Structures are given as C-alpha cells and as structure tokens.
Structure 1
C-alpha cells in the first residue's frame, strides 16, 4: 500500500514540477533562464558539496558514482521557498517564489551497485522588468520585459564498485521545456502599443560520468576523493517570434491590430563541458568535511538565439566547502543527539557577463555567494528523515546599472528509506 501511494505521489509531483514557475530573479532573463545545480536539500545545506561524498541513506545528484553506496531503497522529494529583495540604484523591490526542486527514486542493485532516476528543474525563466522614460516630469515611454517557462531534467543514474574503494558511475539526462519572452513598448500620444513575443521549445540530451575513491586512515578516519564530468551537449531550440501592434480593451486584455511579422526561429544552445572535483575527510555516521571545485566553459549559441547587447556568456566556476556532524546516531536517551547538523559556504561565478545600460560596452561578470545551514531530523522508529535547510545569499552588483539580489531560501525535503521495498511478499 505504501509503495503504491509513493508511486502515485511521484507521478503527481512530477507533473507539478513540469508546470511550475521556479524563479522570480531578473537574471533569469538571460539565455534559457536561471540554471539550477542538481543538488539535494542535504547537499545544498552543506554549501553544495558532493563530488567525493559517500552516503548509504541519501541520494547524491553531483556524482553518479555515489549510487554504488546506496544500501536502502530511497524516495526523495524536495522543495524551496525563496524570498527575494532586488536593488537597482536607489530603488528596491521584493518578491518570492515557491517550487518543487526534485522527485527521485534510488535503490541498491546487489551489494556493489545502485540506481537512481528522477526529475528536476534544469533552468527557469520568471521575470517582470519595467523601464520608464521621462521628459522633464512627464512619462513619455514605458517598456515592459516579461518572461516565463523553463526546462526540466529527466535523469537516470547508475554507479558500481569496480574494486574495493573505487566506484564508477554514469548518468543520462533528457532536457525539455518551453521558454517565452516578450517586450511591450507603449509611448505617449501614440494610440497603438507594440509587442515582441518569442516562444522556444528546448530539447536535448546530456551525459555525465563520475568516479569516487575512499581509503581508511588511522583512528577510523576515512579519506574520500571524487570527480565528475558533464560532457558538452547540444540543445535544440525551435519556435517562433512575432512583432505586432495592439490596444487594450476595457478589461485590460490585448487586442491585436496588425501583425508586422511572424517567423520561425531555430538554433542550438551548446551546453559546455563541466567538471567538478572534491575531497572529504570524516568518520562514518559521525562527521564529515568536504570541498568542491567546479569549472565550466562558456555556453555557445547559433543562429542568432542570443541577439542582445545586454549580455554574453563566459566561463564560470564554483567553490564550495561544508560538512555535517551527528552527536550520536544511535542515541536512545536524546533525540537531538541523533539529528544531523549541516553547514557550508559557496562562491560562484555563474558564467554570464551583463550590461545594465544595454550598450554592450560595460559587460560585468555576475557572481553569486551563499551561506547555508541545515538539519536532518530522523523520523521515529525509522531510518528516514526530514531535512530542513536555510540559505542567505547575494547575486549580482549595482555596477553599470545592474541589479543586486539579496535572497533567503528555505528548503525542505523528505528522504524515505526502506530495505523492504523490493522483497517479494509471501502472502498477497
């Protein structure tokens, strides 16, 4: 009964992930939107580490080789609530968004391998920007930029031990979704407004390979290292772009007057090679400290998909450090001794240079910084847990008329473990 219920939840929440809006950031204007790192709530609460981390109870989205350590069937679902404050010059604005971040299943395959599959947001577009032009004290022109949609990642991952201490893994993903962008311009003393609208369907595959190695040191210390590489992949973008004039009726709905053009648009987004390396030290089920270093090349586009002077792609990188501590995992006297306490930091150059003036002469790299803490709360009489994470971060800058974001994320996940999911029942 429980397994059927969980599978039903998996189907329903998968539909919700595809349909939701995941971002309220103006930086989702660029390219295919704000990119999401594939991380569990547990990982993000430790700054986003995971390249070298081994865990028998939780999934690891960073390195497919970690699937070899699964010893229990695991169902994981995670979501987040984001509070966003935007600053541009002397002006500020607030917003928020709520989203599911992943639904995944994982289970051991024999004693030396594991498999996982699930769905996650890959990128998200969700912005609404307004530009006003004044002549003296009179408002003479308004331009509104809006965007919605995004892409999702359906993945399958497998890892196995090839000999004692060394595990290898591979992952295949299918990326799909739809993105819409529009620019509405209205001028005083002009009866008709004009609107540009673009709609693109994104499709493509992606492959990742990883390796992990663990060795035992003195005093039960374990040293682990890991690396993963995501190969270059080409995402096709097909759709159309329109330019038309319009008026607004009494209810505020658009009434199209003349269509100036409606043409097909097609191109390719080449997602770059991304590599991540990690090392960690700890005692199993007691404490762990790890670092990650990630590098990625610049995104490449064809056929004029990026025809804006306001931004361009560049290479990016990310550094993360974090870990966990469990006072006493099997404590009977104190519940809080069984709680997992997590913390971490990350510093990221996201791979985009932007110019708020729109001239392309003052392109500035966009950086991101985050401080994370979290807890893993064990469920009574089970090996499952509820994970709660908090993140404070800053993205962007006020330089060159750009926007600076201050955000606070609340993240929640449920990690259900069982060693009985795949045991055949003797009585039905």
Structure 2
C-alpha cells in the first residue's frame, strides 16, 4: 500500500515540478534560463561538494558512480524557499519564490551496484524588466517591459557499480523537456495602441554523464576519496512560434489583440558545452568529512548575435563537509545530528556589456545545514541555509542578495523492495 501511495505522489509531483515557476532572477533572461546545478539539500549545505563522496544512505546527484554505494532503498524529496533582493545604484526590490527542487529514488542492485532515478529542474526563467524613456522635462515618453517565465526539467536515470574494491564507475542518462515564454511589450505616449512581441519555445533533448570514484583507507581510520564526472556536450531542439501584434487595454487592464504584423513558426538548437567536475575528500566514516570540488564548463555558444552580452568559460569551486558528534548516541539526540557547512565561489561565465568592455557576473554562497535523524531507520529530515550574492551594481548593473532555505526528506528502508512473507 505504501509503495502505491508513493507512486501516486511521484506522478502528481511530476506535474507540479514541470509547471512551477521557481525563479525570479533577471539573469534568467539569458540563454534558456538560469542553470540549476543538480545537488541534494545535503550537498548544497556543504557548498555543493559531492563528486568524491561515497555514502550508503544518501542520493548523489553530482557523480553517478556514487550510485554504486546505495545499500538501502532511498526516497529523496527536496524543496526551496528563496528570498531575493535586487539592487541597483539607487533602488532595490525584494521578492521570494517557493519551488520543489527534486524527487528521486534509489535502490541497491546486488552488493556492488545501484540505480537511481528522479526528476529535477534543469533551467529556470522568471524575470520582468521595465525600461522607461524620458523627455527633457522628465515626462515618460515610452515604456518597454521584458518578461519571461518557464524553464526545463530533466528526467534522469543513473547506474553505478564497483569494478574492484574501492573503485566504482557510473553512467547517467537524462531527458530534458520544457517550455519557455518570453514577451516584449512597448507602449509610447500619445499612441493609442501598444505593440507586443511574443515567443513560445518548446525544448527537448537528451544528455549523458559519466563518473568515477575511488576510496582508500589510510592510517587511524582515515579515508581518502577522489572523484571525477564529465557531462558531454549536447544539443537541445527548440520549436515554437514568434509573433508581433498591436493591442489595446480594457478598463479592467486585460489585453485586447488588434492587428497581427507576423506570426511565424521556427526551429533551432541550443548547445550545452562539455562540463567537467573533479574533487577529493578526507574523513572518518560516520564521523566527519571535508571535501573540495572544482567544476569547469566551456563557454555557451550563443546564436542571438547580441552585442549586449557574451559568454566565456565558467569555473566553480566548492569546499565543505560535515561532522557527527556520536552517531549511535543513546543519551543525546543532538549528538546524532549531522552538522554541515560549506562555501561556494563561481564565475558564471556570463559577461554583460559595459561600454566597450564586458563585466563578468560572479556568484558566491555561504552554507550551513542540519541532518536531523527521524525515528524511522536511517531516515533524515535535512535543513539547509544559504546566503549569497551575484552580480554587481557597478555601471548600472543589478546585484542580487539572496537567502535560500532548503528542506528535504531522505527516507530509507531496507524492506521497500522485499516481498513480505505471511506466517
């Protein structure tokens, strides 16, 4: 019965995850939106590390080779509440979004392999930018609003297995799908009709990632782990329609379309460049762990020929870890809690034009988190908190200050896929 309820919940949640708007960043204007870096709440609370981590009761979205370490059936469900403040040189605006970040399950296959599958957002779009033109008297002569929403979702399957003691390999295949809507509304003073450009794009495509991990035991119970993952470049097919038309507004503010200038279908592709992640970690099993990740990605190939922005190679560095005072403590619940912390620094690869130069958009975040044991065997409630900044207010650009609250359930049971016997 429990498995049937979980399947129904996963189907309903899939619809919700595909339809939600989970971003309000103006930087999601570029490309097909802001990239979501696949990671669990546990990994995000440690700065996003995980390419070298080998845990037997947690899912790992960064390295498919870690799937080989799953020893109990695991359901993962994660959500995010993001509080965002946008700052310009002389103004600021705040807002928040709530979104489901992933649903996933994993289970062991024999004693040396495992499989994981799930649904995650891949890119997100959510922005509304208004530009006003003024005359010499300070009166508004023209208003233009750029807005967009939507994004893409990835359905993935990951398999990992041990080749020999301490060394595992993994492969992940994913299918990306979604719809993005963008529009530009322009209204001029003393002109009866406004004009609107509307674009709706459906995106489809697949991707493949390979991973490897190795862990060796050192003296005094220490364990050294290393890992690497590579996601190959892939093309996403885009189909949709572009239209331009005039419109007026009713007294209640609803749009009334008038004359259509053009409405044309189009096809295109968006190429994701190759991405490489490497890292290592040191720790004691069920006690503490410290790891370092470095992620490299080639520049996106943009076909819009825009002079206002460009792309370069991106790099992301994460450092973090966890500490458990006493995992089997009976006298103190807080001694069984997992305490996590991490730091993330990133050059996003996005360049915004500033005169004759381009301003790089950088991002950093500070993370802390807790893994709270639940009465059910090996299950946890995970909380994560992140404060970060992206962009700059220099040269009339926008700076984001954000505070993210993450919550996840990691439900584990050794009996979920076992047939029950009746005596």
Q: TM-score range by the shorter chain?
A: over 0.9
Q: Distance in 2 between matches of 1:276 and 1:264?
A: 38
CA contact (8 A) 2:89 2:394 kept: no
Q: Who is 1:383 aligned against?
A: 378
CA contact (8 A) 1:172 1:206 kept: yes
The superposition leaves residues 372-408 of structure 1 with CA deviations (integer Å, 9 ceiling, x where unpaired) of 0000000025210000000000001112321000000
Which consecutive residues of structure 1, in runs of 5 or more, have no partner in the other structure? Answer: none
Q: Distance in 2 between matches of 1:229 and 1:60?
A: 15
Deviating beyond 4 angstroms after TM superposition, the runs of 4 or more aligned structure 1 residues are none
Which segment drifts farther, 374-383 or 271-280? 374-383
Which segment drifts farther, 193-202 or 407-416? 193-202
Q: Who is 2:273 aligned against?
A: 272
Return the offset for 1:137. Answer: 2.3
Q: Distance in 1 between matches of 2:74 and 2:90?
A: 48
Q: Who is 2:344 aligned against?
A: 346
CA RMSD of aligned residues (A): 1.2
The superposition leaves residues 53-89 of structure 1 with CA deviations (integer Å, 9 ceiling, x where unpaired) of 0101100000000001111000000000000000111
Q: Who is 2:104 aligned against?
A: 104
Partner secondary structure for residue 363 of structure 1:
strand
Q: Distance in 2 between matches of 1:311 and 1:203?
A: 25
Q: Distance in 2 between matches of 1:179 and 1:349?
A: 25
Q: 1:274-423 maps to which residues of 2 (within 5 A)?
A: 274-302=275-303, 306-355=304-353, 361-423=356-418
Aligned length: 422
CA contact (8 A) 1:268 1:301 kept: no
Q: Distance in 2 between matches of 1:59 and 1:113?
A: 14
CA contact (8 A) 2:31 2:302 kept: no
Return the offset for 1:27. Answer: 0.6
Which segment drifts farther, 261-270 or 180-189? 261-270
The superposition leaves residues 274-301 of structure 1 with CA deviations (integer Å, 9 ceiling, x where unpaired) of 0000100000010000000000001124
Q: Who is 1:24 aligned against?
A: 24
The superposition leaves residues 293-345 of structure 1 with CA deviations (integer Å, 9 ceiling, x where unpaired) of 0000011244xxx2433222221010000000000001000000000000000
Q: Distance in 2 between matches of 1:253 and 1:363?
A: 39
Return the offset for 1:191. Answer: 0.9
CA contact (8 A) 1:362 1:400 kept: no
Q: 1:19-418 maps to which residues of 2 (within 5 A)?
A: 19-135=19-135, 136-302=137-303, 306-355=304-353, 361-418=356-413
Q: Distance in 2 between matches of 1:78 and 1:381?
A: 18
Return the offset for 1:268. Answer: 1.0
Which segment drifts farther, 36-45 or 248-257? 248-257
Return the offset for 1:362. Answer: 3.5
Normalising by structure 2, we get a TM-score of 0.98
Return the offset for 1:365. Answer: 1.3
Q: Distance in 2 between matches of 1:381 and 1:413?
A: 15
Q: Distance in 2 between matches of 1:427 and 1:32?
A: 54
Partner secondary structure for residue 21 of structure 2:
coil
CA contact (8 A) 1:348 1:367 kept: yes
Which segment drifts farther, 5-14 or 178-187? 5-14
Q: Distance in 2 between matches of 1:263 and 1:422?
A: 51
Return the offset for 1:363. Answer: 2.2
Q: Distance in 2 between matches of 1:196 and 1:311?
A: 21
Q: Distance in 2 between matches of 1:258 and 1:92?
A: 37
CA contact (8 A) 2:181 2:199 kept: yes
Which consecutive residues of structure 2, in runs of 5 or more, have no partner in the other structure? Answer: none
Partner secondary structure for residue 357 of structure 2:
coil
Return the offset for 1:133. Answer: 1.4
Partner secondary structure for residue 16 of structure 1:
helix
The superposition leaves residues 180-224 of structure 1 with CA deviations (integer Å, 9 ceiling, x where unpaired) of 111101110111111111111111000000000000000010000
